[in-house]
A and B are shown apart, each in its own frame.
Chain A
Amino acid sequence: MIEHFRDFLAFYSNLQIVKHVTFLILPLLIVTSIFNFRIKNWKILLIPMITVIIAAVLSSIFYIFYETFNIETNSTSYIYLFFFPILIAYLTMGYIFNIYSSESSKKESKTNQRKTEIRKFTTMLTFIIIIFFLTQYILLPYSLFLPILIGSTITLVASWITTLLFIKIS
């Protein structure tokens, strides 16, 4: 039993992805525990966590897919495939905390205002990502079309899920 467990651990520790996931979870825990003092609504704290986890899981799946099928991987494709979606997920998380940390958080009108804010933010994010994707696609001389497309899509999916969750919960 112990042998099996050790083999299992050895297998997963050899995958670099474990290291990548660690770098996601640690700051996530730090950020949420710091903000927890200010925002006393655990549901709201949960949303950004879900965003980051969705982005991380999707990125990891695509990264493993890349590694397994030996599609040409390099640091630049890693940046677009993994680093970029996570960075944006964290920024979205910061934005949600921004909206929620305002003083009069209990008023009904404030809730609607927040919903509008987050909808506007996601629309803006979608627009910037599309423009960013197009600029990168036109500018980059090498074949980074796929990682940029996947990275941008992951970012969009994660941010839209966050928005929907936020609207539903709050």
Chain B
Amino acid sequence: MKFFELVKKIFRFLFTALFTSALIASVLISIPYTEKYYKGTRYDLTLKNELWTKEYVLLLAVKNKDIPEKDKKTEETKDIIYRRLVKYGVRDIEIEEIESQKKDEARLKIKVKSDLDPKDVDTLVTERYYLRFVIAKEDVNFEDENNPYSQFQIENYISTPYTRHDFRTVYLTKLKSTSGEYAYFAIFKPWENKLNEFYQYFDKLAGKRGGISSDNLVTPIYFPTTLQQGSNSMITRQPFAIGMTVDDSQANILDILYNSGTVPLNYIEESVTEISVINEDINYLRILLGLSGFTLITSIYTYFARNRNNIIENLIPIIATLTIWISILKLLAIPMSLDTIYITSSLFLFLSLLLTYIEKFKKYALFSSTLILFSNYILLGGYVKEISLLLLILLISLAVIQNIVSWYIKLVRNSIS
């Protein structure tokens, strides 16, 4: 019995020692300028790419039959481009319509600010991506060495009546290709009422050369065989899946282009202007001092107004959560912009100090705030989504760390006594 008590004591002692060292280490790693005084390893924050800003002007062509609905279709176009950019995670998007004198044209001015790949953003803004299935003309020689681009030219194909409107969704997923490697396949899911018609049309073309045209450029494909006969002579239908790409980021762009709606008007890019961005100088040290000041003043107020005994017990988990998060960012070199870290930390400190006031996060307050953060993460996009997710993770971690710390404090008190 005494032996077990001794082992227990040793483990408790080891835990308190390890936790104290981890806490001190995380504080030291997370504070700025550690690398100045410690030469062994560098503990720099890996910052995301710098922000860039572009202004696009799109010229929308309105067909005669669309003139009565010009405003509605322009608004729809604006909405789809906005949706695409939000899905991709572009931080700031401003879209406004420029007044146009002509009835058959409209103009959109789109201003974006982001740190993501500019080429992808260009694609999302400037390409209409009107999808239509096409069938290869029989008299065209696609193997012609003199014209290697023949398979991409729209004039070598005949249009089918099937466009993006005929599909409920286009689902992009990774599947094993015939060569045994994994690639992204687009599974076209037709509307239920058009299902039979669609399969009847494409079953006849199974194995034949065709393509998916978007903005007069064709992505060549072979129409898939969807009917399959099993060993028990049962006939089953496979999904209409077409191999698209092996590249993850390209698959993401395709997914956004396919599933953000069909742009109703044809358009071209009239101009693109790069605007120089003044990357706001956010000083890491100033942030640290400011947030520490905020925490200190609020804690002192809480101490006198409310729970006089628990100031250390309340502050340790908050500081531990924040410093562990920043240390993880530093050690794993996770890229993040400084203002994201700043805004997340400020909101987290605000929330956690309030929750501390509600004495060890009473379940309702924690539940309602996590629920709003979660719904925000699900429904909204871009920058706000990123901040919501980070806050959600930090709040949940805080709830866990709170329990560990109260156990730790108990152990330390016992060891001292």
User: Which residues of A pack against B, CB within 8 Å?
Assistant: 7, 10, 14, 16, 19-20, 22-24, 26-27, 30-31, 35, 70, 73-76, 78-79, 83-84, 86-88, 90-91, 93-95, 97-98, 101, 120-121, 123-125, 127-128, 131-132, 135-136, 138-139, 141-142
Q: How far is the CB of B296 from chain A (nearest CB, A)?
A: 10
Q: Say whether B366 contacts A94, CB under 8 Å.
A: yes
Contact for B365 among A94, A132, A142, CB less than 8 A? A94
Taken together as a complex, chains A and B put the C-alpha atoms of A19 and B294 apart, in Å, by 33
Q: Say whether B357 contacts A93, CB under 8 Å.
A: no
Which chain A residue shows the least CB distance to B75? Answer: A14
Which chain A residue shows the least CB distance to B294? Answer: A135
Is chain B's interface secondary structure helix, strand, loop, or mixed overall?
helix
User: Which residues of B pack against A, CB within 8 Å?
Assistant: 72, 75, 78-79, 82, 91-92, 94, 96, 113, 280-283, 286-287, 290-291, 293-294, 297-298, 301-302, 305-306, 339, 342-343, 346-347, 350-351, 353-355, 357-358, 362, 364-369, 371-376, 378-380, 382-384, 387-388
- The answer to whether residues A141 and B380 also contact, given A87-B351, A94-B365, A128-B354 and a CB cut-off of 8 A, is no
Q: How far is the CB of B381 from chain A (nearest CB, A)?
A: 9
Give the chain B neighbours of A26 by CB distance below 8 A. 375
Q: Say whether A138 contacts B371, CB under 8 Å.
A: no
Taken together as a complex, chains A and B put the C-alpha atoms of A136 and B281 apart, in Å, by 15
Q: How many A-B residue pairs have CB under 8 A?
A: 134
For this complex, 19 residue pairs linking A to B, each with C-beta atoms less than 8 Å apart, are: A14-B75, A16-B82, A19-B380, A26-B375, A35-B364, A79-B343, A83-B384, A84-B347, A90-B368, A91-B351, A94-B358, A94-B362, A94-B367, A94-B368, A95-B365, A98-B365, A128-B298, A128-B353, A135-B290
Give the chain B neighbours of A83 by CB distance below 8 A. 376, 384, 387-388
Give the chain B neighbours of A23 by CB distance below 8 A. 372, 375-376, 378-380
- The answer to whether residues A79 and B384 also contact, given A90-B368, A124-B357, A132-B350 and a CB cut-off of 8 A, is yes
Taken together as a complex, chains A and B put the C-alpha atoms of A93 and B23 apart, in Å, by 33
Which chain A residue shows the least CB distance to B362? Answer: A98
Taken together as a complex, chains A and B put the C-alpha atoms of A136 and B79 apart, in Å, by 33
Q: A124-B306, A131-B294 are in contact. List 10 more A-B contacts (CB 8 A).
A: A10-B75, A19-B379, A74-B113, A75-B383, A76-B339, A86-B372, A91-B365, A94-B368, A127-B301, A138-B290
Contact for A91 among B294, B298, B354, CB less than 8 A? B354
Q: How far is the CB of A25 from chain B (nearest CB, A)?
A: 10
Taken together as a complex, chains A and B put the C-alpha atoms of A69 and B286 apart, in Å, by 33
Most chain B beta-carbon neighbours within 10 Å: one of A7, A23, A120: A23
Give the chain B neighbours of A138 by CB distance below 8 A. 290
- The answer to whether residues A141 and B371 also contact, given A19-B380, A74-B91 and a CB cut-off of 8 A, is no
Which chain B residue shows the least CB distance to A132? Answer: B350
Which chain A residue shows the least CB distance to B281? Answer: A141
Taken together as a complex, chains A and B put the C-alpha atoms of A136 and B82 apart, in Å, by 30
Q: Say whether A10 contacts B72, CB under 8 Å.
A: yes
Q: How far is the CB of A118 from chain B (nearest CB, A)?
A: 12
Give the chain A neighbours of B372 by CB distance below 8 A. 23-24, 27, 86-87, 90
Q: Say whether A135 contacts B291, CB under 8 Å.
A: yes
Which chain A residue shows the least CB distance to B373? Answer: A87
Q: Say whether A135 contacts B293, CB under 8 Å.
A: yes
